Amino acid sequence: MLTKLLSRNTCAECKLCCIFSRYDILETPVLSPEIRKKCEQLLPEIKFISKGKESYLFRMNLTEQQDLFSCPLLNSETGCILGTEKPFDCQIWPFQITKINHQEAIIISTLCESMMQQPIGVLIDFLKQDLAEKIFSYAEQNPDIIRPYDNRSPVLVLKQEKF
């Protein structure tokens, strides 16, 4: 979904969004029941934690590096074993949906160095072209994807804006 801004090679070399520290463990992807089923078929030993009404989070694996957790679907050589069928949350990262004063908003995680090199106007135009609508409409069907605002990530688009 982000290939116009972020090349597949850049993501393949980085994999930062699939490794979590104790401080960003809440950023782990929110999974729909369908994705959970697919993951269980691929890796029956995988463990989940319930999130909200009908979503799940992965129980993350501690890596060899102290205090870092790796997504159980991450293959260190080939990347995500779900390929192009990753959770919606992973497809749109570093964009995320949050709620600020009861209003839905799309923010960007500053952890993604490549995206943070883009001018903010380019990111906003990119979202407004059609991704923002997709994100808001996905969140309507899957409200568990909406995270609490972290009070620091840049806010790019508010739901009420016309685009």
DSSP state of 129: I
- Beta-bridged to residue 106, according to DSSP, are 97, 157
| Minimum distance, C-beta of residue 158 to ligand SF4, in the bound complex (Å) | 26
1-19 burial: b if 16+ Cβ within 10 Å, else e: bbeebbeeeebeeeebbbb
| Minimum distance, C-beta of residue 21 to ligand SF4, in the bound complex (Å) | 14
Pick 29 or 94: Cβ nearer ligand SF4? 29
Pick 31 or 132: Cβ nearer ligand SF4? 31
Is there a contact between 144 and 30 (Cβ–Cβ < 8 Å)?
yes
Pick 94 or 124: Cβ nearer ligand SF4? 94
Pick 18 or 105: Cβ nearer ligand SF4? 18
Selected from 29, 30, 96, 104, the binder of ligand SF4 by CB under 6 A is 29
Range 71-100, binding ligand SF4 (CB under 6 A): 71, 73-74, 80, 82, 86-87, 90
| Minimum distance, C-beta of residue 54 to ligand SF4, in the bound complex (Å) | 18
Instruction: Give the separation between CA 106 and CA 131, rounded to whole angstroms.
Output: 10
Is there a contact between 157 and 128 (Cβ–Cβ < 8 Å)?
yes
Quote the radius of gyration of the chain (alpha carbons, Å). Answer: 16
Residues that bind ligand SF4 in the complex, under the rule CB under 6 A: 17-18, 29, 71, 73-74, 80, 82, 86-87, 90
